[in-house]
Structure 1
């Protein structure tokens, strides 16, 4: 996830549990398609790209964290190689939020109904711990300097809707999920399970409050955002993750669920993409391997990946990497990979 500091720079410059039965096993039909890695699919900064393919017009669209090109810039392509110039598709963050938008993810819920999951700063202060409330009331305690949560740095998941993937999107008046007491939430993405059940995934932004960073999933209703049941934790950060896990994106292929996520700090060469797998959506996922790291295909700090399964025929991905290809300290260009290989719980940029 791109930090607030980087977003400010970008804004002044260039600135993806009721369970359906798995589908029948099938062969990997993408073997007859040619793999293609597009280096810097955008020449401008386009961080945390969300990705969608609409069959009605056979067009790919990608959506970016806020930049000088708009609150949510969108680019599109018919060949997954050449992309249009950016167009802003969101005019406001909603009355509950302020500032820039992070990591938008757009999903088609049904014909004429598209939902954007995105992240913005909440204007509502996190509820303090009861002991802190007692100290405030009875001893005049002020924890402003010590607190790492609050309206200046807590984020929530917002919802915006549109009749078209092209936008414009209209934000709802309230956030969907906040969890401000644990540091807020970021990096929301949608997922449709075999059989059509809908889910939302997100990261608890615990590292902003000195806590862990679990990736969670929750069943949502037919409109794409009414929360059903309780969230389930799929993975959390461990010692190999550099302090955090974030940017979840899930796809299903031939009996396996693949959860892609990023680890380490976004502005370092350690930022990467890993994945975890499971054959059941309601069970903890097993961390498998690194998927993309600095140096692969010439990347520098690759992350913020979104994977899309197109009609169970093939899987394409978009992610960001340092725009200069060197330090991971500058802007983020979008890269893309088509025709990924998946087999028995193993994913490869083959």
Structure 2
């Protein structure tokens, strides 16, 4: 990991999400340094943030990548350390995929994660897990609500009388229906809903399109404020924006701001929305996701911090929609490449795998040893990318010893059915693509009998890829296919995820591939 903050543990402090905080203090006399966005570079959709003591904690959607829900901490909202995951090893027993919108919240010495997932044999549900400290370990308490069309984006909030409620969205847009935002009383142990749900508001404004979602609430002065997202979330045709509504009582009536949306796309950041509100030294911020106009869906929805102020009429006003910053490596403190030598006993926390097919792997003698899988996508481990233009490489050991019917190598990974890879095995190097589960070979050559082969991919604009290999430790490179024409990888990313660069191994489970290193070098 790069740019890590010192390890710390802070005493419990009340959360703005489940208590009624006092009026914000006046801004400090000194002006804070400009924010360099993204503060969470890479694929961090639907980020949430809350503060415990003097430390901010955040999480974000992982969808169908495991481990599930990152746990990040920061002292300043700008520099973040990935310290673990809510579900690091196993899926919750009741769920199978679409792990979305984790909302982190602190109260009475406990940490709560309200999250969305798809119920096995059912639909999308809002569930909750808890821990005695933010780092975990977490105990899952299962679903709280799962309506017929699905329920997503849970958020906890206490009303004007201190009664705890769960706020969520009914996923009506999945069935071409409206998308009500509901509130229902939540038991103090967070294990069940009480009474009947009450609708707060729904998508009834033109700019909101077919949905409103991702509600984050704060209480300021006499009002509850609901920041929410509207319209289409994802892909380069997205139309997402951010709106706000307010009410003097949690259950309403709710009034939407006449000047909504309060935040839309600008020259750099596209489709901003679905975040949570936080404060720093008297300043107000929304930590939300947005696409950078260079990387779009290939890098993913990145974590952006946008400041706002309150108008005399009591509405939020974002200070500068032209949010500063350019894509970068995963720290504002360093421009170094990500380099993993696979030392130690555990894989780095940034590595991910498909939740549908977690691979078997181990670190031994400075090597990553990945057990093959016989399915078309093989066993895959992916690393998030941070820019649309990057180079990734890996050294595969004993490649010439991989038998016929087995192969291992370097890949651009969309999901288990969409891959672009250069692999070695059975005496040959092969460039191939997997698109919607169908495999096609794009180039092939004889693999020399050498102790190791280094494989490289170069991405341009997130979707154009060139592959090459070296048999002398990277001194000389040979393109595959010959001519080095770029390969179109536009098909790779699913609608809600970015591309990963990583390694894979295909073939019978008796085969293990050994990787000596992995390097990811992003270009701003």
For normalisation by structure 2, the TM-score amounts to 0.52
The Cα offsets for residues 308-329 of structure 1, whole Å up to 9 and x where unpaired, read as: 3689x55432100114456567
2:223 equivalent to 1:256? yes
What value does the CA root-mean-square deviation take over the aligned residues? 2.9
* CA radius of gyration, larger in: 2
Alpha-carbon offset, residue 345 of structure 1: 3.3
Whether the 8 Å contact between 1:115 and 1:159 is mirrored in structure 2 is: yes
SS at match of 2:244: strand
2:164 equivalent to 1:198? yes
Correspondence for 1:219: 185
2:230 equivalent to 1:234? no
Whether the 8 Å contact between 1:306 and 1:318 is mirrored in structure 2 is: yes
Alpha-carbon offset, residue 29 of structure 1: 2.2
The one of the two structures with greater contact order (alpha-carbon pairs below 8 A, sep at least 6) is 1
Of 290, 299, 307 in structure 1, the residue corresponding to residue 261 of structure 2 is: 290
Whether the 8 Å contact between 1:214 and 1:234 is mirrored in structure 2 is: yes
Of 84, 87, 91 in structure 2, the residue corresponding to residue 90 of structure 1 is: 87
Structure 1 portions without partners, runs of 5+: 1-15, 125-150
Whether the 8 Å contact between 1:184 and 1:204 is mirrored in structure 2 is: yes
Provide closer, same or farther for how the CA distance between residues 343 and 330 of structure 1 changes in structure 2, counting only shifts above 3 A: farther
The Cα offsets for residues 199-251 of structure 1, whole Å up to 9 and x where unpaired, read as: 21111000111211011112223224432322211110125111111111111
Alpha-carbon offset, residue 72 of structure 1: 0.6
Correspondence for 2:6: none
Count of aligned positions: 295
Alpha-carbon offset, residue 31 of structure 1: 6.4
Alpha-carbon offset, residue 32 of structure 1: 4.7
Structure 2 portions without partners, runs of 5+: 1-14, 320-524
In 1, Cα distance between equivalents of 2:298 and 2:195 = 40
In 1, Cα distance between equivalents of 2:311 and 2:150 = 33
Correspondence for 2:492: none
Q: Which has the higher helix share?
A: 1
SS at match of 2:81: coil
Report 1:257-276 matches (<5 A): 257-267=224-234, 268-276=237-245
Whether the 8 Å contact between 1:38 and 1:81 is mirrored in structure 2 is: yes
Whether the 8 Å contact between 2:173 and 2:211 is mirrored in structure 1 is: yes
SS at match of 2:135: coil
Alpha-carbon offset, residue 190 of structure 1: 1.6
Correspondence for 2:173: 207
SS at match of 2:261: strand
Provide closer, same or farther for how the CA distance between residues 33 and 100 of structure 1 changes in structure 2, counting only shifts above 3 A: farther
SS at match of 2:145: coil
Q: Which has the higher strand share?
A: 2
In 2, Cα distance between equivalents of 1:83 and 1:65 = 16
SS at match of 1:116: strand
Q: Return 30-39 or 318-327, whichever deviates more.
A: 30-39
2:145 equivalent to 1:177? yes
For normalisation by structure 1, the TM-score amounts to 0.75
